[in-house]
């Protein structure tokens, strides 16, 4: 049974090469501590890089084989969204990363597909780079954060972006980068990731729906990473709010639950019970395979995890592992 991973990140080799011996990659530098741990320094922020982040495409392919993964839909390292940097710097790092992903796709077309990264702080530049990714580089779409420096994507300034994504047929994969809504409350216990990641994804769903984006752009293709966060668990409360509060109905005439099957959701929810609930809530045709390679929050043996589930039928397992993404991405 084929497996296609929608959630597999890349820290580009051009970054590693440029930052050897104290060099800089478009202002970004790299440090190594006494134990050999690597850290990227991005606009004053320090971001720890796991060992596999440095692996070459050949090493990546060997690891995929050991995990039983046939295809990586390569998405950029979220620490290099660079929305907080000068837009020209973010545009340069986006182009370099996207070109490297495109080269991987051309070299190993049976093993890699690609998603690009964009300078979202400059909407016109982001649209231009997305168009380049789709028409020249050979990618399937883009990966973006849940917000741009606190601005959510229902804001009017982003409408041209959504119109362009729809017109280009670009898949948009949401994955948090940097601080989440939990970060100001607590940075302890890894909570900005374990809880904040899921909160941010639910806010993304809610703002795109309540803000009218999904109605204005009916052909959008959106994947919400990490199972859409708390979206499905909290959808009943969102529906109730829509029923009793006029501001929740400002831009939509249907309850939020009516939009659940307008999105796709990766399977990274960690328990079989949670995955079964996700499938039963959004439909089996909306759940896709993802691993979060190469980070520590990834499942150890993701294909085996899916195949070993007793509550899923063989058809459901095949739909998640490959069938849904084959149709969505035409691969």
Q: Domain coordinates of the chain in residue numbers?
A: 4-12+66-329
**Each residue's pLDDT tens digit, 155-202:** 999 999 999 999 999 999 999 998 899 999 999 999 999 999 999 999
Residue 212 three-state SS: coil
pLDDT at 38: 93
Q: Which residue has the tokens 């150890």?
A: 300
Tokens of 124: 């016109």
Q: What stretch of H or E contains 25?
A: none
- State the pLDDT at residue 204: 98
Helices (H), 108-170: 123-132, 159-168
The Cα 276–Cα 179 span in angstroms is 29
Q: Check residue 226 and give its pLDDT.
A: 98
The tens-digit pLDDT sequence of the chain (331 residues) is 899 999 999 999 999 999 998 999 999 999 988 888 999 999 988 999 999 999 999 999 999 999 999 999 999 999 999 999 999 999 999 999 999 999 999 999 999 999 999 999 999 999 999 999 999 999 999 999 999 999 999 999 999 999 999 999 999 999 999 889 999 999 999 999 999 999 999 999 999 999 999 999 999 999 999 999 999 999 999 999 999 999 999 999 999 999 999 999 999 999 999 999 999 999 999 999 999 999 999 988 999 999 999 999 999 999 999 999 999 999 9
Work out whether strand 29-32 and strand 38-42 pair parallel, antiparallel, or are unpaired: antiparallel
CATH code of the domain occupying 4-12+66-329: 3.20.20.140
Sheet holding 45-49, edge to edge: 29-32, 38-42, 45-49
**pTM score:** 0.97
**Per-residue pLDDT reduced to its tens digit, 284-296:** 999 999 999 999 9
């Amino acid at each position: 049974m084929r497996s296609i991973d929608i959630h597999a990140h890349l820290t580009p080799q051009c970054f590693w090469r440029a930052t050897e011996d104290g060099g800089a990659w478009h202002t970004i530098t790299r440090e190594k501590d006494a134990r050999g741990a690597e850290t990227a320094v991005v606009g004053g922020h320090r971001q720890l890089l796991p060992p596999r982040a440095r692996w070459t495409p050949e090493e990546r392919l060997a690891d995929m084989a050991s995990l039983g993964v046939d295809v990586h839909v390569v998405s950029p390292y979220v620490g290099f969204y660079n929305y907080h940097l000068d837009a020209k710097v973010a545009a340069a790092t986006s182009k370099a990363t996207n070109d490297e992903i495109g080269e991987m796709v051309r070299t190993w077309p049976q093993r890699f597909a690609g998603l690009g990264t964009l300078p979202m702080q400059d909407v016109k530049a982001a649209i231009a780079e997305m168009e380049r990714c789709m028409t020249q580089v050979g990618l399937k779409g883009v990966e973006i954060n849940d917000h741009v420096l606190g601005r959510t994507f229902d804001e009017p300034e982003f409408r041209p972006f959504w119109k362009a994504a729809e017109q280009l047929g670009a898949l948009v994969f949401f994955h948090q980068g940097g601080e989440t809504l939990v970060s100001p409350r607590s940075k302890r216990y890894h909570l900005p990731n374990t809880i904040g990641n899921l909160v941010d994804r639910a806010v993304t769903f809610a703002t795109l729906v309540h803000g009218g984006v999904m109605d204005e752009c009916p052909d959008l293709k959106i994947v919400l990473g990490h199972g859409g966060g708390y979206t499905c668990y909290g959808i009943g409360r969102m529906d109730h709010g829509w029923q009793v509060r006029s501001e929740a109905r400002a831009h939509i005439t249907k309850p939020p639950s009516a939009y659940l099957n307008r999105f796709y959701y990766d399977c990274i929810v960690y328990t079989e019970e949670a995955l079964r609930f996700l499938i039963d809530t959004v439909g089996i045709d909306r759940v896709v395979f993802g691993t979060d390679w190469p980070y520590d929050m990834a499942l150890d043996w993701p294909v085996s995890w899916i195949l070993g589930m007793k509550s899923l039928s063989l058809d459901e397992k095949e739909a998640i592992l490959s069938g849904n993404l084959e149709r969505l991405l035409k691969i």
